[in-house]
């Protein structure tokens, strides 16, 4: 058999690819921006000069009585963490197709910027409208929002 010559050691293909990617990435400016919301300021709050009265009332509810801002913090309106809504307290477990339907467990907080453009809602798409979503959380959180307050809160969500 003939002798084999060894090639000189060189960097692995994966490290070359990684170096090329890093070089490419560093040569560009990446800006992850939320969907446009012309009535919001830089910090994600409504500009009073541009917002409708219902939107302003909805914003007040969002950060107050409705408790939305506990998980949905501006400017992206998410805290990027998991929360357990404990919805199992509203239904009895049952068997469906041989599997027990029970608690959801923790779910990730969804960002609300541009929410009006992305129905259905919640992690499993069980809520078809923003009105359904506000009513769901009104029940789950026990906030006891009046009908006018729910309407105002939906108006604010549509402005995000």
Domains of the chain: 53-159 (1.10.760.10)
Q: Region 127-148: what's the mean pLDDT?
A: 95
**Positive or negative: CA dihedral 53, 143, 135, 110:** positive
- Give residue-wise pLDDT tens across range 83-126: 988 887 777 777 778 877 667 788 899 899 999 998 999 888 88
Characterize the bridge pairing of strands 94-96 and 99-101: antiparallel
Residue 156 pLDDT grade (very low, low, confident, very high; cuts 50, 70, 90):
very high
Q: What's the pLDDT at 98?
A: 80
Q: Give just the sign of the alpha carbon dihedral 5, 11, 12, 13.
A: negative
Are the C-beta atoms of 79 and 112 separated by less than 8 Å? no
Bridge partners of residue 96, in order along the sequence: 99
What DSSP character marks residue 1? Answer: -
Task: Please tell me which residue, 57 or 91, carries the higher pLDDT value.
Answer: 57
Distance between CA 71 and CA 156 in Å, rounded? 16
Interval 55-83 mean pLDDT: 95
Element spanning 108, H or E: strand 106-108
Predicted structure pTM score: 0.73
CB of 37 closer than 8 Å to CB of 116: no
HSE-up of residue 130 (Cα within 13 Å, Cβ side): 17
Tokens representing residue 35 in the block: 């969907």
Task: Dump pLDDT digits (tens) for 5-41.
Answer: 665 555 555 567 777 766 665 655 445 566 678 899 9
Task: Return the pLDDT at 32.
Answer: 56
What's the pLDDT score for residue 10? 56
């Amino acid at each position: 058999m003939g002798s084999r010559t060894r090639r000189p050691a060189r960097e692995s293909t994966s490290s070359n690819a990684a170096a090329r990617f890093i070089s490419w990435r560093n040569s560009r400016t990446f800006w992850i921006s939320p969907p446009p919301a012309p009535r919001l300021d830089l910090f994600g709050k409504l500009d009073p000069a541009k917002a409708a009265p219902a939107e302003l009332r909805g914003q007040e509810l969002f950060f107050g009585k409705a408790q939305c801002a506990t998980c949905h913090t501006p400017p992206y309106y998410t805290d990027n963490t998991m929360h357990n809504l404990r919805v199992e307290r509203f239904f009895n477990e049952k068997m469906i197709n041989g599997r027990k339907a029970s608690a959801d467990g923790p779910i990730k907080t969804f960002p609300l910027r541009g929410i009006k453009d992305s129905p259905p809602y919640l992690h499993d798409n069980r809520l078809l409208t923003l009105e359904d979503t506000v009513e769901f959380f009104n029940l789950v959180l026990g906030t006891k929002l009046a009908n006018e307050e729910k309407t105002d809160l939906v108006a604010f969500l549509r402005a995000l």
